[in-house]
Chain A
Amino acid sequence: MPTRGDRWSHVTRAVTVGMVVALAAGPAALAAPAPNAPPGSNAPSGPAAPPETAAPSAGPSALAGATQGRELYRQNCASCHGDQGRGSQRGPSLVGVGAASVDFQVGTGRMPIPDEMQQPRRGRPVFSADEIAALVEHVTSFGGGGPGIPRVTEGSLGTGRELFAANCAPCHGGTGAGAALTNGWNAPPLYEATPVQVAEAIRVGPGLMPVFPSQVLTDQQVSDLATYVQRLRSERLDRGGNPLGRLGPLAEGVAAWVVALGLLVAAARWLGRRAGE
């Protein structure tokens, strides 16, 4: 299931990015032979390779990926992270962040950011799946190791729930709705994260999130967590009706006062008489 979801997300991402680019480029994109290539890209035009074969298999394809990755990096990342990924005053070093980190930041649309902000927000990813793969490859070529993209398998919901309550709920909330942290940081809601992104975040620890290396959570436990978080997204868990953003008792209190008491006081007003009558 996770691998299917993974591929599915790659496909949707590619499709959505393609649509966005097509809409943005407008008539130029209609004329261009390859709609997937961003304007100004030097990459050889042609049908994009499927993500499975993108990384290590064929020689020319890999070479093309490397050039594409370098170009994308120069255009979108180098101004802050430096040409060789050593970092600058505007962005941290990328040496040793690992493939998981790059895939997470770019795949969730957090990078590239339009301007400096404390905590980049999740958005629509700017690049297609194989562009992201190329970028990941380029950044890992800076060296330094770091966690690779985790492989997520089908996990146990029960174990996942227990691990979630112990490790994730304090910040992301038991419902996965997210919560405020200190100094203006937020633990984001988890409802849009794919299983691979959940696993990447666990291994990488973006922002204020702590890193959970394999000594703390095994690969199987990470898979369990990713499975549970996928389940948490499901609207079927909101069995009781409108979840009110799963924000808890204060949102419920507002509903009670505004909707219910409002209606009942209006009913009393309607049934009773006003002062002048």
Chain B
Amino acid sequence: MIMDRLARAFDDRLRLSPLTRRALAKVFPDHWSFMLGEIALYSFVALVLTGVYLTLFFDPSSADRVYQGSYAPLDGTATSAAYASTVRLSWDVRAGLLIRQTHHWAALIFVAAILVHLVRIFFTGAFRKPRETNWLVGVTMLMLALANGFTGYSLPDDLLSGLGLRIIVSVVESIPLVGSWLVFLGLGGEFPSDEMIPRMFVSHVLLVPAVLVALVSVHLAMIVRQKHAQFPGPGRTEHNVVGSRLYPSYSLRSLALFAWVLAVLFALGGLVQINPVWLYGPSAPGQATSPAQPDWYVAWGDGALRLFPPWEIHIAGHLVPAPFFPGVVLGGVTFLALYAWPFLERWCTGDRRAHQLLDRPRDHPVRMGVGVMALTFFGVLVVAAGDDIIARLLRVPVYDVLYVLRVLVLVLPVLAGALAFLLARALCRSDAARLGELTRADLRAAGQGADRRAGGRRVRAGEARAVDEPELPTPDRPGQRIELWPDGGVWRWRYRDEPAGVTLLNNRAMLTEREAVDSARLAYPGVDHVAVPGPPPPAPPGRVRIALRRWGNAALGVSLLVAALRQRRQRHPDGDGPRPE
């Protein structure tokens, strides 16, 4: 009742209800792969929540401080305040270690979920017009997530992260002409500078998160504005979105995912140790620890640095240090390629139309091949970052592992890409529903196309055009119709496809019949309209809903009974006078 009055009061003053009604009626596609980005979003929420707790105890300073606490080997040792406060957080602050570990796990999952989401967007062609801008925003967020992950990893000032920081600084120094100046500008001096930690801290907790929050908002606002893309299917066109409404069904589902994310992150934070900085010891320029790797999302850079041969390349008489190529050039090319991909693909295919229906990954064998090739390449690089661990586990010399990986990083992506291309084309040309249903003849046909390249490309272009054909109003669609009916003071409509057995209810109520007809025409151009007298009978409730309703009724009855009994008991002692103690 209070909520009701409060809502009414707000609505009187701000006129929120039309907006809220529209927002709550927003439709989200039901396919599970649309929730991958939400995993990243909720990891980000977890990062912010745990990060706020950490800032209460972390001291971002390289000033000397004597650690005094329950970790005996460091007790009474003078280290940097950043390190001392991190060890204190881990050993002496209540729940400090749980929150710190959860924060770190959330960072790993955040980037991993972004990557999985990006892979989904890439292979289904969701980056095509009109969603290129959102792709650019997303890639920027990935870059910021990597940067923020790295500064967060470096903040504790422990020995392991100190090594990583030294490597990044060396990579920046390797940029010709400006490298050393950039380092001086960034660090405010030579490498282990006193400015380093405070600056990273400001960027880690203030600048980059603020930009990330802004970009997340832009990302979501664009989705609301442009509406979701969706997979093709019965009743799904370029002009509508089929799925569940935000309220109540989708918000419940999304909250469930939020709970899952928090549960998994905190379970890991409590059960699996991550980054035990007290064991690594404080950072010192003259010391090292081994095996030393960065977190996985930077490991591809580390792997590239390990694999790149120590060539001394002179350009115009100036030495370009070897780390420049795997460090700066590879990173730059990677993100440039990511930024440029939607435009590159549009330029190559000549497809300039807007797309609301997604591709199946198999529909574009070239995109499939390129994507798998890139993923394999970076996968091998990540593995290469662990070359010493592999050498130790397999008991083989490190350099042998390194040479094998040098070959693999060049060969494996090409092989994997070609295989993915062929399989995608075989799937696309045959009528096999899944990979297991491919016959040998399908594969042979796909391979033959690869030999005759020019012919193959023309066929592919033709296929792409057939797939991308916009839906035109067709005069005759047997079995499909729009049903309109008045429902109280409003009009509703639904789409029915009798042969396919599909019924889709429109998510919003319209004030007039005219409006309802217009909206139905927008979503399903060319489908006949039928006005039906009354609302169609509601679908029989599912088993779960029946059980829930029954249990709800039972619970209501029981609670009423309990309340009545308690009231009775309270009244009775009063009537009987004071009870004997």
Binding site for B on A (CB under 8 A): 157-158, 160-162, 164-166, 169-184, 186-187, 228, 231-232, 237-244, 246-257, 259-261, 263-265, 267-275, 277
Residues of B within 8 Å of A161, CB to CB, are 73-74, 77, 281
A264–B108 contact, CB under 8 A? no
B287 is contacted by which of A170, A249, A269 (Cβ under 8 Å)? A170
- Complex A-B: 23 CB contacts under 8 Å: A158-B72, A158-B73, A170-B287, A174-B279, A175-B280, A179-B291, A180-B388, A180-B391, A184-B397, A237-B279, A239-B97, A239-B276, A240-B273, A240-B276, A242-B273, A248-B293, A249-B160, A252-B275, A264-B260, A268-B33, A270-B32, A272-B253, A273-B30
A165 & B281 in contact (Cβ 8 Å cutoff)? yes
Do A261 and B116 touch across chains, with their CB atoms under 8 A apart? yes
A249/B288 in contact, CB under 8 A:
no
A255 partner residues in chain B, CB cutoff 8 A:
268, 272
Instruction: Determine if B295 and A249 form an interchain contact, defined as CB atoms under 8 angstroms apart.
Output: yes
Q: Does B478 contact A (CB under 8 A)?
A: no
Q: Which residues of B contact A228 (CB under 8 A)?
A: 73
Q: Verify A174–B76 contact, CB threshold 8 A.
A: no
> A161-B281, A239-B91, A264-B113 known; 16 other A-B pairs, CB under 8 Å?
A158-B77, A180-B290, A184-B396, A186-B392, A240-B90, A244-B273, A246-B279, A252-B272, A256-B268, A260-B264, A261-B116, A264-B260, A264-B261, A267-B260, A268-B35, A271-B256
Per DSSP, chain A at the interface is helix
Which B residues lie within 8 Å of A184 (CB)?
391, 395-398, 400
How far is A179 from B108 in the complex, measured between Cα atoms in Å? 24
Determine the distance from Cα of A242 to Cα of B267 in the docked complex, in whole angstroms: 12
Query: Which residues of B are found within 8 Å of A248, using beta-carbon distances?
Result: 160, 291-293
Q: Mark B275-308, 1 if CB is under 8 A from A, else 0.
A: 1101111001011111111111101000000000
B275 touches A260 (CB 8 A): no
CA distance A157 to B74 in the complex (A): 8
In the complex where A169-B288, A268-B39, A271-B256 touch, is A241 in contact with B112 (Cβ < 8 A)? no
Closest A-chain residue to B101, C-beta based?
Answer: A240
Inside 8 A of A186's CB, which chain B residues have their CB? 392, 395
Interface string of B241-281 (1 = CB under 8 A from A): 00000000000010011001100110010111111101111
Minimum CB–CB distance from A144 to chain B (whole Å) comes to 33
B159 interface residue, CB < 8 Å from A?
Answer: yes
Asked if A253 meets B295 with Cβ closer than 8 Å, knowing A170-B287, A237-B276, A239-B91, the reply is yes
B31 interface neighbour in A173, A257, A259, A272, Cβ under 8 Å: A272
Are A260 and B399 in contact, with the CB atoms below 8 A? no
The reply to whether B231 and A249 contact each other, CB–CB distance below 8 Å, is no
How many residue-residue contacts, CB under 8 A, span A and B?
218
B296–A256 CB distance below 8 A: yes
Known: A237-B276, A264-B264. A249 touches B257 (CB 8 A): no
Contacts of A271 in B (CB 8 A): 32, 35, 253, 256-257
A272/B290 in contact, CB under 8 A: no
The docked-state distance in angstroms from the alpha carbon of A27 to that of B260 is: 59
Give chain B residues whose Cβ lies under 8 Å from the Cβ of A158: 72-77
Q: A169-B281, A175-B279, A249-B295 are known contacts. Are A241 and B289 too (CB-CB below 8 A)?
A: no
For B200, list chain A residues within 8 Å (CB).
Answer: none
Measured between beta carbons, the chain A residues less than 8 angstroms from B392 are 178-180, 186
Interface residues contributed by chain B, number (CB under 8 Å): 76
B291–A259 contact, CB under 8 A?
A: no
Q: From residue 67 to 114 of chain B, which have CB atoms closer than 8 A to chain A?
A: 72-77, 90-91, 97, 101, 104-105, 108-109, 112-113
Known: A256-B112, A275-B231. A241 touches B385 (CB 8 A): no
Nearest CB in chain A: distance from B314 CB, A? 29
**How distant is A186 from chain B, measured CB to nearest CB, in Å?**
6
Most chain A beta-carbon neighbours within 10 Å: one of B233, B257, B396:
B257
A268 touches B257 (CB 8 A): yes
**Interface membership of chain B positions 23-42, coded 1 if the CB is closer than 8 angstroms to chain A and 0 otherwise:** 00000001111111011000
Question: Which residue on B lies nearest to A251, using beta carbons?
Answer: B389
- Which residues does chain B contribute within 8 Å of A274, judged by CB atoms? 31-32
> Nearest CB to that of A169 among chain B residues?
B289
Q: Tell yes or no: B323 within 8 A of A by CB.
A: no
Query: A190 to B537, alpha carbons, bound, how many Å?
Result: 74
Compute how far the CA of A237 lies from the CA of B73 in the bound complex, rounded to whole angstroms: 10
Min Cβ gap B260→A in Å is: 4
Q: Across the interface, do B291 and A252 meet the contact criterion of CB distance under 8 Å?
A: no
CB neighbours of A241 from chain B (8 A): 101, 270-273
In the complex, whether B386 has a CB less than 8 A from a CB of chain A is: yes
Residue of chain A at shortest CB distance from B38: A268
Give B153-167 as 1s and 0s: 1 = Cβ < 8 Å from A's Cβ atoms. 000000110000000
Flag if B388 contacts A243 (CB, 8 Å): no
Closest chain-B Cβ to A237's Cβ sits at a distance in Å of 6
Tell whether, in the assembled complex, residue B72 and residue A231 are in contact, meaning their CB atoms are under 8 Å apart.
Answer: yes
Task: Enumerate chain A residues within 8 angstroms of B385, measured Cβ to Cβ.
Answer: 250
Q: Which residues of B contact A165 (CB under 8 A)?
A: 159, 281, 284, 287, 289
Report the Cα distance A238→B399, complex, angstroms.
32
Report the separation of the CA atoms of residues A243 and B278 in the bound assembly, to the nearest whole angstrom.
13
